[in-house]
């Protein structure tokens, strides 16, 4: 896997959850205050009964304008800025020692039908095992069926309620968004789920996934990833993104799934630099 500097960001790709229009609409859906100035989006949180505010802008290169923010009910306290490409930071911004945002994102580029040949050895081995099992199949379903199977089965997964609520909410915000929901079946039993959002004409991003105890035995997770890649190839989608992955600021229980995703990734980008100032 190639680790690239954020200044090498691919312009036609340009997906990062915390800077995407879809994610801001999701935050609005949760009644989080969104500040829009031009094409820049940020969020605001009130603390101490509204006496102070924290405003955060992520993945933008233009320095946030305080005067514009004041017109959006920003009064005082902390402004956080996470640049996307620029490294030219004015001296009045101080670098944060601890990150309060996700810093890692990974993606792959689909070039042709041999996309899987770039995977790690264990990913290719798991794909072969899945494809050789005639009792396994994958179906693309709507949101209702996707969640129906999930709710009927007992799945031990950290934050599973948060994930299913996120999936439901993001599916309801705008019906024009293209969300593909896949379920892997062993005979007639659902054993793994994957939902992805086609962010634009060239990019598709991981939304949520769920698994039962049988997923590893049958390599159902890899089967879903392979199906996602192959279906995207047919739709002329070039970039596959696994969204935020575990970094040192996230809980250890997410490590195994980040390790699993690493089997399929071409590039890793880190957004470690965050800055703040008090106003």
Grade residue 267 by pLDDT with cuts at 50, 70 and 90: confident
Tell me if 261 is assigned to some domain. no
In a domain, 207, yes or no: yes
- Residue 69: count of CB within 10 angstroms of its CB: 20
Question: What is the maximum alpha-carbon separation in the chain?
Answer: 63
Contact 66, 79 (CB under 8 A): yes
CB 96 within 8 A of CB 275: yes
How far from chain centre, in Å, is Cα 57?
17
Q: What is the pLDDT of residue 221?
A: 92
98 burial type by CB count under 10 A (0-12 exposed, 13-18 middle, 19+ buried):
exposed
**Span 262-268, mean pLDDT?**
85
- Burial of residue 185 (CB within 10 Å: 0-12, 13-18, 19+) is middle
Q: Which helix (H) or strand (E) holds 181?
A: strand 178-186
Please tell me the number of Cα atoms within 13 Å of 5 on its side-chain side: 5
> Does residue 220 surpass a pLDDT of 90?
yes
Judgement on whether residues 116 and 233 belong to the same structural domain of the protein: yes
**81 φ, ψ to 5°?**
-135, 125
Same domain, 20 and 73: yes
Task: Identify the CATH number of the domain in which residue 228 sits.
Answer: 3.40.630.30
222 and 117, same structural domain? yes
Same domain, 79 and 27: yes
Judgement on whether residues 160 and 224 belong to the same structural domain of the protein: yes
Q: Which of 172-186, 193-207, 240-254 is the least confident region?
A: 240-254
Residue tagged 């490294």 (tokens): 87
The listed range with the strongest mean pLDDT (78-82, 193-197, 259-263) is: 193-197
What residues make up the domain containing 221?
Answer: 111-237
Q: Are residues 137 and 231 in the same domain?
A: yes
Is this structure's pTM higher than 0.75?
yes
Same domain, 89 and 182: no
- Are the beta carbons of 202 and 110 closer than 8 angstroms? no
- How many domains, the chain? 2
Give the pLDDT of residue 248: 58
Where on the phi/psi map is residue 48: left (φ > 0), alpha (ψ -120 to 50), or beta? left
Question: Is 204 a member of any domain?
Answer: yes
The model's confidence at residue 4, banded by pLDDT at 50, 70 and 90, is: low
Among 146, 218, 143, 228, residue whose Cα is nearest residue 186: 218
**Domain identity same for 159 and 233:** yes
Q: What are the structure tokens assigned to 28, written together?
A: 């609005």
| 8-state DSSP, 138 | E
Q: Calculate the alpha carbon distances from 56 to 178, 253, 275 in Å.
A: 28, 27, 10
């Amino acid at each position: 896997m190639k680790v690239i500097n954020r200044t090498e960001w691919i312009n036609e790709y340009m997906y990062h959850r915390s800077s995407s229009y879809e994610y801001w609409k999701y935050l609005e859906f949760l009644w989080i205050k969104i500040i829009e100035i031009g094409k820049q989006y940020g969020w605001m949180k009130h603390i101490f009964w509204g006496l102070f505010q924290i405003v955060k802008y992520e993945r933008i290169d233009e320095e946030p304008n305080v005067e514009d923010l004041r017109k959006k009910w920003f009064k005082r306290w902390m402004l956080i800025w996470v640049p996307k490409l620029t490294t030219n930071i004015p001296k009045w911004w101080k670098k944060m020692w601890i990150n309060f945002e996700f810093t890692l994102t990974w993606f792959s580029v689909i070039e042709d039908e041999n996309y899987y040949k770039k995977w790690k050895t264990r990913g290719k081995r798991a794909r072969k095992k899945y494809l050789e099992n005639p009792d396994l199949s994958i179906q693309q379903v709507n949101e209702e069926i996707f969640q129906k199977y999930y709710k009927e089965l007992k799945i031990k997964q950290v934050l599973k309620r948060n994930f299913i609520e996120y999936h439901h909410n993001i599916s309801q915000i705008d019906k024009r968004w293209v969300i593909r929901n896949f379920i892997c079946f062993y005979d007639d039993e659902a054993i793994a789920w994957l939902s992805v959002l086609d962010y634009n004409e060239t990019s598709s991003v991981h939304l949520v996934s769920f698994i039962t105890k049988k997923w590893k035995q049958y390599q159902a997770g890899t089967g879903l990833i392979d199906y996602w890649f192959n279906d995207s190839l047919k739709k002329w989608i070039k970039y596959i993104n696994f969204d935020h992955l575990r970094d040192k600021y996230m809980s250890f229980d997410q490590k195994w799934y980040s390790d699993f995703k690493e089997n399929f990734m071409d590039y890793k980008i880190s957004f470690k630099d965050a800055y703040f100032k008090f106003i």
